Structure formats: structure tokens, C-alpha cells
Chains A and B, each alone.
Chain A
Amino acid sequence: MNNESHNWEDLFEQLPLDTSAPPEHQADLRAQVLQTFESNAARPSTAQRLKEIGHILMKYKVPHWTAAAVLIVGFAWITFSGGTPALALDDVIDNFTRARTARFDMTVTVTGQPEQTMKAFYLEPCHLRQEFSLGIINISDWAAGKMVSLNTKGKQATVMNIVNLPGHLDSQAQMNQFEWTREQLLKAVDDPDTEIELLGEKKLDGRKMMGFRFNIPSQPMTIWADPDSKFPVQIESTMVGPPQTHVVMSNYEFNVELDESMFSTEIPEGFKITELDVDASKPSETDFLEALRIGSEGSDGQFPAGFDAVAISGYVAKVLARQDFEEKKKPSNSQVQQVIKISRGMQFAVTLPPEADAHYAGAKSKYGAKDQPIFWYKPDMSQTYRVIYGDLSVKESSQAPEVHGARRLSR
């Protein structure tokens, strides 16, 4: 600190004021403030939890839907995306984000695959149940870090344990698809760059609805809401993919009575159980190398075209296609594990901070090119670069490689 600054500090420190806190006012205000907190924040968790969900997913960047798709793929081989707002928009959003329970229909259409329909149930906090027509039931409880898929006809159960959740997350900071939809909605409304288009009125099941469209490039969303109840009635979203996935959630009923036992992740007797662990800790360079290894082995030695959602989903699809994966069937456990490892590893790359000066030059390279730098970055506090070559060896370098066509990764 320079003398000038010291002089100013000296000046202001001489102000002859007793700034000690007045105990009576502090006590009175404390009571008043807590009363206000209670009346305003009786149920504040949803909106904020949704924001926290955003933090979790942003932390593992590969855009939200990809992170979730990694988990969802282990269930019913569907992908999913977010939700939308409406009319006196604030009221609708507020009602939607504060709902304790919900019952609704879901239709998922993935390009090239048959449409899937299901009945879904949400119970705050963090519980979601999906019932498919073929007797498949998926139940997730993110607070408990557990997702289960029950095949009631075949008496088979898949249990996914979410392990190594970052320590700073409390049980409310988990997500399920319903909450994720709400989070997408909140984010879109908060983002001044989001274009919101009024669609006007239309009738749904004889009821007049107001529509709003959120023009989010990667995931446009439309919400139809009842002007009387100020609740959403239908939410449509499209994940551009590939593959493109269109999700319609309709016939919403909010704050209905739901039996907690519907959301139990205990496996009923007589089911054959398969367990999988999904690592939610912060990915490392080792995870990244492993992802590149698995991916390149499964795709003729190619590395991903990039690290955006589209590139990674395409890369994963290519890896699975090489393994005789049949789209209509549930993937094998090893396939699921591979997808999880690839997505997890890629998250390392896309979560590097700008100061890491990370670059990717592997889009046109193939595994084995030992002299070809494909990725480089500066670890935290490091003066040197970690340079990954086409044979996945890693060397330290005081300078960033110069490779034509290298793309800088930025958060």
C-alpha cells in the first residue's frame, strides 16, 4: 500500500465516532428480521436449490443436459431437457418453482427412436418417480445420492450410487429432472439475453392457455399456462442434440397428495440387483486421459471434434455404435460405465478456468500421433504447460505449442 493510501486511512481513522453496535437495536432488529425471514422464506429452498443445481452442473460444465444424460442413460435410455415460463410470468414461475409435489405426463421423442411416454411424480425435495408403459419404474433421490430403475416384469433392478459428491453440497443441492426444468426456467428468466416471445392464446383440452417461448439457441422452450390458476399446464422443450430430443410435459397437477412410499429407493424382494457407482467428484487430468483413451479406442482412434454438447454426444454415440449398441435396448452396464467415464473426463477440459489457457488441437488427429500435441493447459499456480500428445503421453513445457487450427477453450 502506498503512502497516499496510508494518509487517507489515517485521516478517516481519526473520525471520532463510537461505532460499537447498539445492543438494544441489534436485539430488536434481530427479532424483526427473523420474523420477516420466516414469513418470506418459509419455503425458499426450491428457487435457490435450483440455482445451486445450476452451480453443480456448471461446475461439471459439459452443458447441463449432457451431465444429466450420463445418468439418465443408465435408466431408460432417454435424454431430457428443461422447462419454460408464462403469462403474468412471475406468478407462473413462482408457482411452478414453489410446488411441493407434482404429477404430470411426459413424452420424450428422440430422433430415430420410438416415442416414449411416462407418468411422472415429483415430491420435494429431490424425489422423482417415472412410470413407463412397459413396467419400467425409475426413482431418483438425489439427496440420498441414489437412482434406481426397476423392471417390474423382468424383476430386475439397477441401482446407481452417486459417490464423491463435492463436500460443499448439502442434501438440498441435488437435482432431478423436474427441478432441473425449474432451474432452466429460472435461469432463462434471469438472463437478460434470453428472448421471450409471447405466443398468445390457444385452447388445450378446452381450456384457454397463454403461451411463451424462450428462444434459447441450444434448448428452446415453450410454456403454456392457465391464466386463472397461474400454473403451467404444458411445457415443451427441444434439445438440439444430436440426437434431437423433444420433451413434452403435460397435464400438470401441482401440490397433490403423494405417498412417500412411491419414492422409496429400497429394492423390492425378488429383484435381481445390478449396482453402478457414478463418481461426482471433480474430474482430474487422469480422468481426461482415460476418457480420451476409451473414446479413441471406440472410434477408430479419433478424438472428439470439440468439447461442446453436440460434439461430445456425437462422440459418445460413435463409441457406442462401434460396440453393436442397439438403440432400442437398454445399454449394458459396461456401456453405461464407458459413457460415464467419457463424459466425466471431458468435464475436466471444459471446466478449466480461462487462466489455464487450455487449447484443443485433436479434432483432426488420431490416437498414436506421439509428436502431435492435441491438448495443453496450465495447471493452477503453474508456470509451465501440461501438453498432451496424440499417444496420450503428457509432457511439461514452458511454452504453449503452436499448432495450426488449435482452439482455445474458455468457460
Chain B
Amino acid sequence: MTDSLQTNRSQSVDELVRLVRTSRDAFGQLFDCFYPPIFAYCLRRLLVRAAAEDVTSEVFLKAATGIHAFSGTSGEEFRRWLFRIATNEISAELRNSIRRRELLEEAARMGTIKADVSTSLLHEDAVIEWQSAYEALGELSDREQSLISLRFFAGLRHHEIAEVLELKEGTVRVALSRALEKLRGRLQGSVTVRRTSSGMEGGDQ
């Protein structure tokens, strides 16, 4: 997308946001615009489509009900506001360890997270299972999970995460770095094998 097209799109979203408190049509158009990224974000956190649909529904229904509380005037502010709601809803959903386990088991059963993933984060060509990765993520605190999710599942930049979580940007950088370090530590225990084209080269790590 060219810069001018991007600018035009931002302008039109901004215009919709300025109308959104009074215009059903504007709210509908913003829904169309933001449903896909919010759904994708929820799904990446929850792994199960039905659960992601439920939480996405909650997000937009809360937005419709609480539109009075939204005081922004730009598309960016509206987006951050939605991600804030979504983050809170997801955290509430995942706070219950039984529910978290259910979602993981369901995702595993459906094959959603069956695949392994290779990463050089731990050491060269390490391979971990997605299920283990999610379990490790789930062991972090709510805030740490939110930081990592907003950064890597929603693709937000540090200053945007700061806005969503109402933290200082510097705090986000430090806290995210620590959260990733903690996650890396948890993942160490999940690495089981290292594979190459010639076969298995190492045992349990």
C-alpha cells in the first residue's frame, strides 16, 4: 500500500471514529475494519475458534455498550481501545487454569497446535512443541502474557502496548524483555530433540 493510500485510509478511519459515538453507520464500518485483527488476536491467544469468537463478541458488545467511555478521536486510539478490551477479556478467560487446560487440550485434539516449531532462541535448531510453548506462556503472569501477546500476536509496537496497558513505554520495554527471558527459561525445559536432515543428533536437552 502506498503512503498516500495508507494516509487516506487512516484519514477515513479517523473520520469514522469522530462520528462513532453518534453514528450507527460509522460504528458498523469500524466494526468491519477492526473485527479481523481483533479476532485474529483472540484466536492466537485462545487457540480455539469457538472461544475466540466468544471473546471477540464480548469485545465488540462491550465497545458498543461503552462507547460513551471512549474519548479518542483517531483510528489509532480506537484500535488501542479495542485491544485493551480484548486483552482484559482474554486475561479473564485464561485466568482460570482449568479453562486454560481445556483450551489447550481442545486445540491439541483439533490439531491446531500439533506442529513443532524450530527456533534458534534457545540454541541452534532447537525444536519445541507448540503445546509446550503455550503452557510455558500460560505460566507467566497476566501482565507478562499480555505484553508478549500484544507484541507478537497483535504486532503492536512498544509505545502502542504502553497505551493499551496504560504503562510507560520504558516500563513496557523492560517488562517485555524480562517476560521473554522468563518465557525462554520455561521453554528450555520443553526442548526435547534437535533434528537435522540426517536424523536425530541429540537427545534430551
Contact = CB atoms under 8 A, between A and B. Distances in A.
Contacts of A40: 64-65, 67
B120 A16 contact: no
A11 B117 contact: yes
Interface string A1-24: 000100111111011110111100
A21 B107 CA distance: 18
B92 interface: no
Interface string A22-37: 1001100110111011
B152 A9 contact: yes
A45 interface: yes
A30 B36 contact: no
A168 B118 CA distance: 49
B130 A37 contact: no
A47 B68 contact: yes
A8 to B, nearest CB: 6
A7 B68 contact: no
Contacts of B40: 19-21
A48 B53 CA distance: 29
Nearest to B151: A8
Contact of B64 (A7, A33, A55): A33
A55 B19 contact: no
B83 interface: no
B182 interface: no
Interface residues of A, number: 37
A22 B39 CA distance: 9
Nearest to B27: A37
B68 A19 contact: no
Contact of B36 (A15, A21, A37, A52): A21
B57 interface: yes
Interface in B21-36: 21-22, 24, 27-28, 31-32, 35-36
Central interface residue in A9, A19, A34, A40, by most chain B CB within 10 Å: A19
A287 B83 CA distance: 41
Contact of B57 (A19, A32, A34, A55): A32
A36 B64 contact: yes
Interface in A25-75: 25-26, 29-30, 32-34, 36-38, 40-41, 44-45, 47-48, 51-52, 55
Interface string B89-114: 00000000000000000000000111
Contact of B112 (A17, A20, A34, A48): A17
B171 interface: no
B60 A168 contact: no
Contacts, number: 117
A30 B28 contact: yes
B71 interface: yes
A241 B117 CA distance: 68
Central interface residue in B18, B39, B64, by most chain A CB within 10 Å: B64
Interface residues of B, number: 46
A37 B70 CA distance: 13
Given A8-B180, A44-B68, A34 B28 contact: yes
B-side interface mostly? helix
Central interface residue in A7, A33, A170, by most chain B CB within 10 Å: A33
Contacts of B67: 37, 40-41, 44, 48
A172 interface: yes
B44 interface: yes
Interface in A268-311: none
B53 A34 contact: no
B24 A38 contact: yes
Contacts of B114: 16
B119 interface: yes
B115 A55 contact: no
B21 A44 contact: yes
A44 B71 CA distance: 12
Given A19-B43, A44-B22, A29 B65 contact: no
Central interface residue in B60, B68, B117, by most chain A CB within 10 Å: B68
A55 B19 CA distance: 15
Contacts of A8: 121, 151-152, 180
B60 A48 contact: no
Given A8-B151, A37-B24, 6 more contacts: A11-B152, A25-B53, A34-B24, A45-B22, A47-B68, A170-B18
Interchain residue pairs A-B with the least CB separation, the first 9: A19-B40, A12-B152, A37-B64, A36-B64, A48-B21, A21-B36, A14-B117, A45-B22, A33-B60
29 contacts: A7-B119, A8-B121, A12-B152, A15-B44, A15-B130, A16-B130, A17-B47, A20-B36, A20-B40, A21-B36, A25-B39, A26-B35, A26-B39, A29-B31, A29-B53, A32-B57, A34-B24, A34-B31, A41-B22, A41-B27, A44-B68, A45-B21, A48-B67, A48-B70, A48-B71, A52-B73, A168-B14, A168-B18, A170-B19
